[in-house]
């Protein structure tokens, strides 16, 4: 996601895949689609392998670490945008549960929902058209 919370690329993998696999696949996809991305912020689940791969594709990967003195839930700088976008995407019924059998179908549903989010932002609509009375 970019700083506005818009999805740049999406990778759908099985739950058994390690975060590094997803991180490397995402970096490859972003580098292939968008040459303006120069920095990526990731959480602590990603390891050195993703950071090293980022340098090979020209993206500086920074691991955002939690302050060990903080107790309970504390929003991380810039990471809350990802959580906000994930929350918005959960309003779309097909993304709440895994209804799809193929990863490509799940990936397309994310882009479909993001297209709707972008359209609503551009038009200033606050409710879906089918909800208006």
Q: What is the pLDDT of residues 10-33, one digit of tens each?
A: 988 888 888 889 899 999 999 998
Average pLDDT over residues 39-51: 84
Per-residue pLDDT of 56-103, as tens digits, reads 999 999 888 777 888 888 777 777 788 888 888 888 877 777 777 787
Q: Return phi, psi of residue 70, to 5°.
A: -75, 135
Name the residue range of residue 53's domain.
19-124
Pick the closest to residue 131 from 114, 75, 120 (CA basis): 120
Task: Show Cβ contacts of residue 56 under 8 Å, excluding neighbours closer than 6 positions.
Answer: none
Position 54 pLDDT exceeds 80: yes
Please count the other Cβ atoms lying within 10 Å of the Cβ belonging to residue 15: 5
CATH code of the domain containing 91: 3.40.120
Tell me the pLDDT band of 127, cut-offs 50, 70 and 90. Answer: low
- Number of domains forming the structure of the chain: 1
Q: What is the pTM of this model?
A: 0.74
Instruction: Copy the structure tokens of residue 129.
Output: 């058209």
């Amino acid at each position: 996601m970019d700083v506005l919370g818009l999805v740049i690329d999406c990778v759908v993998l099985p739950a058994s895949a390690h975060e590094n696999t997803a991180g490397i696949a995402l970096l490859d996809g972003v580098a292939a689609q968008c040459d303006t991305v120069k920095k990526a912020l990731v959480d602590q689940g990603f390891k050195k392998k993703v950071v090293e791969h980022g340098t090979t594709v020209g993206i500086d990967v920074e691991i955002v670490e939690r302050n060990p003195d903080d107790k309970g839930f504390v929003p991380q700088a810039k990471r809350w945008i990802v959580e906000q976008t994930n929350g918005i995407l959960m309003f779309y019924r097909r993304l709440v549960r895994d209804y799809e059998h193929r990863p490509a179908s799940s990936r397309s549903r994310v882009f479909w929902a993001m297209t709707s989010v972008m359209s609503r932002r551009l038009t200033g609509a606050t409710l879906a058209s089918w909800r208006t009375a």
